[in-house]
Structures are given as C-alpha cells and as structure tokens.
Amino acid sequence: MNKEQEIRQRKLLRNWVITIGGFVVMQFIFVLIDGTFLEPNDGMLGNFANRIVEADWFVEWLIFYENPYFNIITVLAVLHIVFHGIKDLIRIRIWKKTAS
C-alpha cells in the first residue's frame, strides 16, 4: 500500500469516527433532554415540519422521542449516515479500480 492510499484510509476512518461519534453524542443529549423543560418548543416548527410531524406514517413508525424536533433531526441524521456510507462505498470502489 502506498502513502496516498494510507492517507485516504486514515481520512475516511477519521470522517466515519466523527460522523458516528457525533450521532451517538446527539442521541445521548436527546435522551437526557427529552421530556424535560430544556426541550425546544413544538409550536416553532413551521408549516412544512408540522405537516411531516403530523403525518400518519411519521406518528406510527418514527416515534423515538416525545419531541418532534428530536424525531426529525434523528431521521435526517440517519439519512446523512446512509448517504455518506453510499458515497464512501462508491469512492472506495473507484479507488480500487484506479489502483488496479
């Protein structure tokens, strides 16, 4: 393995540690804050976010927390991780093709 590949692997690993670590810290904070006086106000979500929160599929399937802010942020964070993973898998595949 050459120097460039090692640098790529370290950067990729560092990015994943930051992403997963940030997600875990965020979830830990949400668990601590959910149901207390520290959680944000539901009335300030806005029209688009309120329609998402009040949708049947959101209420039935995505109940992680009592606060809809936390539910929306968690869903967006999971989508970020999935898309980040797909991007990195494609990038690794391209790197392997060019290395061969």
How far apart (Å, rounded) are the C-alpha atoms in residues 23 and 25?
Answer: 6
The pLDDT of residue 22: 95
3-state secondary structure of 41: coil
Q: What pLDDT score was predicted for residue 28?
A: 94
Angle, alpha carbons 78-38-69 (nearest 5°): 30
* Chain Cα centroid distance, residue 94: 24
pTM comes to 0.78
> Per-residue confidence of the chain (100 residues) as pLDDT tens digits?
688 888 888 999 999 999 999 999 999 999 998 877 777 666 666 677 777 777 877 777 877 888 878 888 898 999 999 999 999 999 888 888 887 6
Cα 64 to chain center, whole Å? 14
Q: Is the dihedral of CA 27, 28, 30, 35 positive or negative?
A: positive
Q: How far is CA 45 from the centre of its chain?
A: 19
Task: Give me the pLDDT at residue 84, please.
Answer: 93
The whole-number pLDDT of residue 59 equals: 74
